[in-house]
Amino acid sequence: MKYLVTGGAGFIGSNFIYLLLDERPGSQVVCVDSLTYAANIHTLNAAFNNPRFTFYKEDIRNRKGIFEIFSKEKPDVVINFAAQSHVDRSIEDPGIFLETNILGTQVMMDACREYGVKRFHQVSTDEVYGDLPLDRPDLLFSEDTPICTSSPYSASKAAADLIALAYYRTYGLPVSISRCSNNYGPYQFPEKLIPLMINNALNGKPLPVYGDGLNVRDWLYVKDHCLGILAVIENGKAGEVYNLGGHNEKTNIEIVRIILHYLNKSESLITFVKDRKGHDRRYAINPEKAGRELNWSPTTKFDDGIKLTIDWYISNMTWMNECTGGEYVNYYNEMYGNRG
């Protein structure tokens, strides 16, 4: 089986590549990534040593380049992780989100049609459902919750989902979609909550918590997400959506306190800053369909996963420093400079 993985030099895509190389020993893995700011090529160091791994630096928006890769590699299965993925950046500059997340996905699906790919899997997000109220813990996102997006990021992901389902219905392209809650684990770029807070805490810098810190996210360890995607590809039905989540809701301030406590740092580092525009209040996934139909459920408990994650960043400070040099400094100053 030959898998083509887009966005494999990013957070979840790289974890997925390592899962495939470890757990599908006969497989070939082709990675396509344009190496944006969010990628770190050193993330794939171990994969480059594996003869079953091939890498192409290419942009999913480049139809000609993508078709050439398909013509050469003829993948069986395509998993589309490549995306602009950070909500805050989408608020500042939506255009690149629409181009990458919508038009790039279309290019990938057109290539899949042309080359008769057996499954196109779109990695989507629970953010397409909008948000839930804090005072209704009984409400969870299921696959038939209406799409109701808040940010340019989530709107672009929802658009891609709808186009993917249209390609299934109209052209019979065997598409599947997974919508997952917030991930955490190794190789996450430190613009996202958990690695940003770990990095700041380790460097004794303020920890910028948006608004009142009471927004809720449903956290899933990245390996569990990757196992869920594999289960959808192998056992899920074409034309279907599967929600993946861990029944693990936490407020942002809880997360920040857990990190500080584990690192033995003072809570005086916490700084409440101006809220994100349109900030979604609560996400919470109902993953029953994936449990029932795919026999998937998360295996890593949050208490263990967060320790594994913090320990990983402590042991990989070189990797972290590669991410936080250069452009990151400008990004950080622009995003957080006038926020206090």
Q: Is 240 a catalytic residue?
A: no
Q: Quick check: 82 binds ligand NAD (CB under 6 A)?
A: yes
Residue type, 210: Y
* Coarse DSSP helix, strand, coil percentages of the chain, rounded to the nearest 5 percent: 45, 15, 35
**C-alpha to C-alpha distance for 31 and 8, rounded to whole angstroms:** 6
Q: Is 59 a catalytic residue?
A: no
* 168-184 core/surface letters (b: 16 or more CB in 10 A; e: else): beeeebbbbbbbbbbbb
C-alpha closest to that of 16 among 101, 35, 6, 25: 6
Residue of the chain from 3, 4, 5, 10 that contacts ligand NAD (CB under 6 A): 10
C-alpha closest to that of 79 among 27, 146, 31: 31
Question: For residues 54 and 125, which CB has a smaller minimum distance to ligand TYD in the complex?
Answer: 125
Annotated catalytic residue, options 126, 191, 218, 249: 126
Q: Tell me which of ligand TYD, ligand NAD, none is bound by residue 36, counting a contact when its beta carbon lies within the kind-specific cut-off of 5 to 8 angstroms.
A: ligand NAD
Residue of the chain from 18, 29, 30, 33 that contacts ligand NAD (CB under 6 A): 33
Q: Quick check: 87 binds ligand TYD (CB under 6 A)?
A: yes
Q: Quick check: 210 binds ligand TYD (CB under 6 A)?
A: yes
Helix (H, G, I), strand (E, B) or coil at 100: helix
CA angle (8 as vertex; 81, 301 as ends), nearest 5: 75
Site string for ligand NAD, 161-200 (x = CB under 6 A): -------------------x-xx-----x-----------
Q: Tell me which of ligand NAD, ligand TYD, none is bound by residue 123, counting a contact when its beta carbon lies within the kind-specific cut-off of 5 to 8 angstroms.
A: ligand NAD
C-alpha closest to that of 11 among 256, 273, 158, 196: 196
Contact by Cβ (8 Å): 191, 331: yes
Q: Tell me which of ligand TYD, ligand NAD, none is bound by residue 59, counting a contact when its beta carbon lies within the kind-specific cut-off of 5 to 8 angstroms.
A: ligand NAD
Q: Is 303 a catalytic residue?
A: no
Question: For residues 31 and 132, which CB has a smaller minimum distance to ligand TYD in the complex?
Answer: 132
- Minimum Å distance from CB 130 to ligand TYD? 12
Question: For residues 178 and 200, which CB has a smaller minimum distance to ligand NAD in the complex?
Answer: 178
- Minimum Å distance from CB 104 to ligand NAD? 5
- Minimum Å distance from CB 113 to ligand TYD? 31
214 CB-near residues (< 8 Å, 6+ apart) = 134, 251, 252, 253
Strands of the chain (E only): list them: 2-6, 28-33, 53-57, 77-80, 119-125, 175-180, 183-184, 207-210, 216-218, 220-221, 241-244, 249-251, 270-273
CA atoms within 13 A on the CB side of 75: 28
Helix (H, G, I), strand (E, B) or coil at 77: strand
- Minimum Å distance from CB 87 to ligand TYD? 4
| Interactions with ligand TYD, residue window 239-258 (CB under 6 A) | 252
Give phi and psi for 276, each to the nearest 5: -70, 140
Question: For residues 265 and 276, which CB has a smaller minimum distance to ligand TYD in the complex?
Answer: 276
Residue of the chain from 182, 183, 286, 324 that contacts ligand TYD (CB under 6 A): 182
Binding site for ligand NAD (CB under 6 A): 6-7, 9-13, 33-36, 38-39, 59-61, 81-85, 100, 104, 123, 125, 157, 180, 182-183, 189
Residues labelled catalytic: 126-127, 153
